[in-house]
Structure 1
Amino acid sequence: ERSRDKSFINLICSENYPSAAVREALGAHIPGNLNHLKGTEGYPGGRFYGGRQHIDDIERLCCKRALQTFDLDPKEWGVNVQPLSGALANLYTYTALMKPGDKIMGLDLSHGGHISHGFQTGGKKVSEVAVRFESTPYYLNPITELIDYEELERSAIRAKPKILIAGASTYNRLIDYPRMRAISNKIGALLHSDIAHICGMIAAGEIPSPFPVSHVVTTTSLKTLRGPRAAMIFYRQEFRSDIDQTVFPRFQSGPDHRNTLALAVALRQAQGNHFKAYQRRVMENTKVVATALQQRGYSILSGGSDIHLLVLKVRDRGIDGAQLDKVLEAANVSSNRNAIPGDTSGFKPGGLRIGSAPMTTKGFGTAHFKRVADIIHQAVQLSAEISRRKKSSTKDEAKDSKSLSSFLKDMRTSEVKVLEELKQNVSDLLKGL
């Protein structure tokens, strides 16, 4: 895996590379029993095992740094650093603050939302949140491809959700948090802001913070924060008991204290000037890719990006996102297919999600990302050529022309030379990192 990663350009926006200090903390040897794994059920000062004073110190420090990183007053805000993932943090939050069957409202998945915000399709409740609660989506404006706040407000008034979700996994633009709070006030709902993707930029002060207007905020730490695979739930102090008791003992037993230690290190690093400069580079590099692709005639969802990711629309090129991400993978570029408004299938969507954070961490600058755009363009051209060839097949072969496996077979047998040239371009770009 190390060898593969060194030879790949990583454009997956939900990933990043933690610092050496974070990795060291994550692998720290914290003695306990023979397996070096301590049982840590409970919270600092109230564990169900003795000899946990240093584990308590780690968790207290992590919570303190979490509040400091986002400039929060501990008299108004608390934080739980025990959730194992962002999706679980969201489930815990909704369970703590609502009753089964209560309503939530979040951005539709194909419009940029996240599966943990209550995704359901065709009458099937896909996520556990949708099973437990009644989920109503809101959407992007079909013309601007921005959140349609006016229509959102009308829908919220009709649905009257208990929690309104401000957050996304594939939305290129900034969210108007004060507008979201005004809508939630109008219907008597709580405002939950999910900042899993953008928390690094918020911590650095590069984009607006949702904390002043939110009731609860959740985030992961492995994306733009460059921390371990962990999550946090920030809450107004009035919700402390409900949320803490939902995390433990309702859902979880003992947390992973090595993750807590690594998270504490990442949070301290996020308070430095170097981290602010890094977030600015991430945002600048995203804009460079977007501009370079637009200059080649490509369409970007909403026309650009304000953060670390963009969504490239490829349906007008005669291909889908699944085909493109497979061609890129064959050329040693990691990316991911992504649904966009109007798609009916997440397996053959019309978009490709591109993130700049991982390669910015590895040292890519604007010149590198201009070449990344060239590589993506070459991959699109190759994908389109294979797709055209499949569509012009004989009648019997045409039955399989829409099959991804057939597409991949053609790519591997007919385009070996072109793929090798693409891989060489990737290899050349990675030299010197």
Structure 2
Amino acid sequence: MEYEHVRETDPAVADALAGEVDRQRETLTMIASENHVSEAVMEAQSSALTNKYAEGYPGSRYYGGCEYADEVEQLAIDRAKELWGAEYVNVQPHAGSQANMAVYHAALEPGDKILSLDLSHGGHLSHGHPMNFAGKVYDVEHYEVDPDTGRFDFDEIEDHASEFEPDMLVTGFSAYPREVDWERFQAIADAVDAYHLADIAHITGLVATGAHPSPVGTVDFVTGSTHKTIRAGRGGIVMAREEYGDDIDSAIIPGMQGGPLMHNVAGKAVGFGEALNPAFDDYIDQVVENAQALGDRMQEHGLSLVSGGTDTHLVLCDLRDSHPDTTGKDVEEALEETGIVLNANTVPGETRSPFVASGIRAGTPALTTRGFDAEACREVADCIARVIDAPDDEGVREEVSADVDALVDRHPLY
């Protein structure tokens, strides 16, 4: 990846792009919402479709010259339907947040009520944080996980829903490490006559292969990102029952977007095609096995995991029991110096600012893409634990950095 044409035109940008490739090659990406797409997906996302306006939908565009845009978008739609078993799919949202916005716009009116998972308990900004559009437009209340178990208390959530009477129940997460019981949540939504939106942004790949139960066919709306565990490049997706298709189409255009980013849609088409290959099932199985190996080894080092482990692609470590004076931001910064890149994260019952937090979140999708197996992930856990025990020890950081270099060399990227 030399970016020869960029270098001829703009050396400063070329240097930054090349530097980013080197950074990804030389460090371990463990941010749970990140992954490494294939070179085929990157080619598609940098294609000539970036030049094309294609407002509308396949077969019904506002501009001419859309025959190939139609072909690519229809491939993405058809492949998504096959992957997730959805009746209706829209691949135009620019991101998962825009996918959520489209569903709200299609099903709700300003001021309607949303009940969703609290951000500090594993929810997402677009589920109704007061600084986010959803929190500004809708009347939002939040349910939480049980702070002792790290899991959902469905009786408590049911009581909350009965009292609040939301127009929409939002499920899904950005930092919940356990399987979600969509049917139980749907029963709560049914009891209060609410729509049910399941945001599977983090687990699109796990749901596609059956490694995690699917909400498709159970809930009204399913949204997701296309760049976390599905490896189809950055973007969003909406799936729903066919009866809601026209309303979602209208919510996206003209409701909230104009011309779709057709080069990103091309990346989605390629990535979805890759995910339909049986090898992708093996990849996802390894992602989950690696996350469990990572979490188990961290616990062997005396670290506490929210809910006691993981069923998915991520672990959430609560530092308060083992290292009460160490913040998540302390660990994030110390680990990044060694070449391990993850993020500080709030934990249930959080008492610190989210900008420093009391936990760290670590995921295995990108490591698995590089070819890491369970034993390699245990080695990574050893490195993480050593730094958590001594985040200010320069000698420890140097030793861990050397171990990271060895792991990177054994598992090259691009």
- The TM-score normalised by the length of structure 1 is 0.88
Partner residue of 2:398?
Answer: 420
Residue 28 of structure 1 and its aligned partner are, at CA, apart by 2.3
Asked whether the equivalents of residues 196 and 219 of structure 2 are also in contact (C-alpha less than 8 Å), the reply is yes
SS at match of 1:164: strand
Whole-Å separation in 2 of the counterparts to 1:10 and 1:60: 32
Partner residue of 2:273?
Answer: 268
Alignment of 1:378-397 (within 5 A): 378-383=386-391, 386=392
Whole-Å separation in 2 of the counterparts to 1:176 and 1:422: 39
Partner residue of 2:79?
Answer: 65
Partner residue of 1:408?
Answer: none
Identify the match of residue 370 of structure 2 among 362, 367, 372: 362
Partner residue of 1:17?
Answer: 36
Whole-Å separation in 1 of the counterparts to 2:91 and 2:72: 11
Asked whether the equivalents of residues 290 and 310 of structure 1 are also in contact (C-alpha less than 8 Å), the reply is yes
Deviations 1:289-325 (A, max 9, x none): 1111111111100000000001011123120101000
- Name the amino acid aligned to 1:372: V
Whole-Å separation in 1 of the counterparts to 2:85 and 2:90: 16
SS at match of 1:197: helix
Partner residue of 1:142?
Answer: 147
Whole-Å separation in 1 of the counterparts to 2:46 and 2:133: 32
Between structure 1 and structure 2, the one with the greater Rg is: 1
Residue 242 of structure 1 and its aligned partner are, at CA, apart by 1.4
- Name the amino acid aligned to 1:108: D
Deviations 1:13-41 (A, max 9, x none): 100011122122222234xxxxx611111
Asked whether the equivalents of residues 147 and 349 of structure 2 are also in contact (C-alpha less than 8 Å), the reply is no
Partner residue of 2:113?
Answer: 103
Deviations 1:94-114 (A, max 9, x none): 121100000001111111111
Asked whether the equivalents of residues 75 and 269 of structure 2 are also in contact (C-alpha less than 8 Å), the reply is yes
Q: For the structure 1 residues 294 and 417, does the alpha-carbon distance in structure 2 shift closer, same or farther, using more than 3 Å as the test?
A: closer
- Name the amino acid aligned to 1:357: P
Deviations 1:317-350 (A, max 9, x none): 1201010000001111100000011213101211
1:348 aligns with 2:356: yes
Deviations 1:243-270 (A, max 9, x none): 1111001211101111111101111111
Residue 419 of structure 1 and its aligned partner are, at CA, apart by 2.3
Identify the match of residue 306 of structure 1 among 305, 308, 311: 311
- Name the amino acid aligned to 2:118: D
SS at match of 2:383: helix
Partner residue of 2:128?
Answer: 118
1:80 aligns with 2:90: yes
Alignment of 1:215-364 (within 5 A): 215-316=220-321, 317=323, 318-344=325-351, 345-364=353-372
SS at match of 1:310: strand
Partner residue of 2:13?
Answer: none
Asked whether the equivalents of residues 328 and 356 of structure 2 are also in contact (C-alpha less than 8 Å), the reply is yes
- Name the amino acid aligned to 1:353: R
- Name the amino acid aligned to 1:53: E
Partner residue of 2:55?
Answer: 41
Residue 362 of structure 1 and its aligned partner are, at CA, apart by 0.5
Partner residue of 1:432?
Answer: 410
Residue 131 of structure 1 and its aligned partner are, at CA, apart by 0.3
Whole-Å separation in 1 of the counterparts to 2:318 and 2:149: 14
Partner residue of 1:407?
Answer: none
Partner residue of 2:189?
Answer: 184
- The TM-score normalised by the length of structure 2 is 0.92
What is the CA RMSD across the aligned residues, in angstroms? 1.2
Whole-Å separation in 1 of the counterparts to 2:306 and 2:224: 24
Percent identical: 37
Whole-Å separation in 1 of the counterparts to 2:191 and 2:107: 19
Asked whether the equivalents of residues 41 and 253 of structure 1 are also in contact (C-alpha less than 8 Å), the reply is yes
Asked whether the equivalents of residues 205 and 230 of structure 2 are also in contact (C-alpha less than 8 Å), the reply is yes
- Name the amino acid aligned to 2:370: K
Residue 416 of structure 1 and its aligned partner are, at CA, apart by 3.7
Whole-Å separation in 1 of the counterparts to 2:374 and 2:176: 22
- Name the amino acid aligned to 2:155: E
Give the aligned length. Answer: 389
Whole-Å separation in 1 of the counterparts to 2:74 and 2:268: 12
**4+ runs of 1 displaced by more than 6 Å?**
none
Whole-Å separation in 2 of the counterparts to 1:241 and 1:377: 51
- Name the amino acid aligned to 1:319: T
Whole-Å separation in 1 of the counterparts to 2:66 and 2:29: 39
- Name the amino acid aligned to 2:401: K
Residue 356 of structure 1 and its aligned partner are, at CA, apart by 0.5
SS at match of 1:212: coil
Whole-Å separation in 1 of the counterparts to 2:349 and 2:284: 32
Deviations 1:51-73 (A, max 9, x none): 2112111111211111011123x
Whole-Å separation in 2 of the counterparts to 1:299 and 1:220: 29
- Name the amino acid aligned to 1:347: F
Partner residue of 2:380?
Answer: 372
Whole-Å separation in 2 of the counterparts to 1:39 and 1:7: 37
Residue 87 of structure 1 and its aligned partner are, at CA, apart by 0.8
- Name the amino acid aligned to 1:117: H
Deviations 1:168-188 (A, max 9, x none): 000000111010111101000
Where do 5+ consecutive residues of structure 1 fail to align?
31-35, 120-124, 387-414
SS at match of 1:294: helix
Identify the match of residue 68 of structure 2 among 38, 48, 54: 54
SS at match of 2:42: helix
Deviations 1:114-152 (A, max 9, x none): 111001xxxxx2111000001110011122110111100
